[in-house]
Copies of this chain bind each other. A is one copy, B any other.
Amino acid sequence: MRIVAADTGGALLTEEYEPVGLIATVAVLVEKPYRTATLSIVKYADPFNYDMSGRQAVKDEAFLAVKLAKKVKPDVIHLDSTLGGIEVRKLDDVTIDALTITERGKAVWHELRKDLQPLAKKFWEDTGIEILAIGKSSVPVRIAEIFSGIYTAKWAIDYARENGRVMVGLPRYMEVELLSGKIRGESLDPREGGLYGEVEADTDGIGWELYPNPLVRRFMVLEVWKE
């Protein structure tokens, strides 16, 4: 099975470890044995000016996933929205009201579907590929999340080169390592069966430190500075 998935993660942090805004939306192509991505593309956000409601993230993820899917023609697309795996092209207002999610979630999706249902419907008519709102259950979505952490580290390197130093928060229980010529990221949850990723990056002249965010258990902080 060839799956395209997308997710958004990584946050710019203040000195007090509070999130300012999210950094990286990533789409990945995941193939058997489903432990990493064969391909990945990124769209960086401006964390200093970010809509933290979550609506922007889902929209960016859907459009980025479709962009990658047009190129690689997967069997299916997974989005990070836990609606039980429903097809996004079928998300009309009546269906949304019947979902067993919070009233707040329904309001968000009544808004989101205005953009996403036509996108999913057209993509399905053109290619036969479904976009599923599968969320937490999907391994490719988790791999996209891990890659969003890796690209966040890459963003931090570029930011530190220009501004001297920066602190970012990685997605849930994952770590990154800045190696020679690349960044490697790994899940810290062994129950997931060894999910990881690698992205090329120029790490020369960059110092870094990784440690637990003291205010949010199971989330790591990455500090990066120009040496």
**Chain A residues within CB distance 8 Å of chain B:** 1, 3, 16-17, 30, 32-35, 134, 136-140, 142, 172-173, 175, 188-195, 209, 211-218, 220
Contacts and interface: CB of A to CB of B under 8 A. Distances in A.
Contacts of A216: 137, 139
Q: Is the interface of A mostly helix, strand, loop or mixed?
A: loop
B173 A215 contact: no
Given A35-B211, A173-B191, A173-B193, 14 more contacts: A1-B16, A30-B214, A32-B211, A33-B211, A34-B211, A34-B213, A137-B216, A138-B217, A140-B214, A142-B217, A175-B193, A188-B190, A192-B218, A193-B218
Contacts of A139: 212-217
Quickly give the copy total for this chain.
Answer: 3
A190 B190 contact: yes
Contacts of A3: 214
A147 to B, nearest CB: 15
Contacts of A34: 211-214
A128 to B, nearest CB: 15
The 5 A-B residue pairs with the shortest CB-CB distance, nearest first, are A33-B211, A173-B191, A193-B212, A34-B214, A191-B218
Contacts of A136: 217
30 contacts: A1-B17, A1-B214, A3-B214, A30-B214, A33-B211, A34-B211, A34-B212, A34-B213, A34-B214, A136-B217, A138-B215, A138-B217, A139-B212, A139-B213, A139-B214, A139-B215, A139-B217, A142-B217, A172-B191, A173-B190, A175-B193, A188-B190, A189-B218, A192-B212, A192-B217, A192-B218, A193-B211, A193-B220, A194-B212, A195-B212
